[in-house]
Structure 1
């Protein structure tokens, strides 16, 4: 950020700030104020700039609440929630089971809906590692893995 002003005498004042930014700086407003103590009645000059920091998606996966992952058994339903923070906004969300992409298949009891993955009538084949991934113009990132372990249904 640089502030310049030319007065009648031709004097120029410049202030330069060099800042190493990261995603936590996105949306912060920087303010630069200049004054001249030698001129007590002079007007203060102020300039502001709002930072717009671009970064690839930060992605986190969690099993939907109030599920207890240790009590899941065949025939149960489960859902996962993918949370994404990114600038610019994400364009696409991908879901993975053991590294293979999961696709929407209602007849196969798999529902992909935005940031949620729903698995209906779990079977042993649903056990494994689940992740979600997101892509924006800055890149692609994949979430932490959530491991699903489906027990066989216990007979009475």
Structure 2
């Protein structure tokens, strides 16, 4: 039996920084497989190790300003993440906590077989609204997660339209 862990990072009261919670909601609504574990850990992923341990696929979703266009999406593997880990840990304590959780998982001999990071470039950083570019990025992130689940035979092509059309309720307010 496969173990899939999807972890969201961010702050739902800081505008687009709450995008990961919407991504996780969409995935939860469109998948009913008990092998998929979802957790929005906000700004404190210290306890992520339990979800990461011995996962066949671990996906971490969050927002990160990388001097790109708002709503831009960056997909990293663990090698790219390690390259950027030092400056990320200085920028945000949540990343430092995530690094500690990953290190503990590795020391325990249960580093995920495949580790993927999905970062969305934020535009709004206050309130609870999600900007239009980030709403589009949320749909793309859900689609990217869906692609990974299809590769593991945990989702079918028939499920794709509902996943890709999903729009967060908060974001749809104009």
Normalised by the length of structure 1, the TM-score is 0.29
Higher RCO (CA 8 Å, separation ≥ 6 residues): 2
More strand by share: 1
Larger Rg: 1
Normalised by the length of structure 2, the TM-score is 0.27
More helix by share: 2
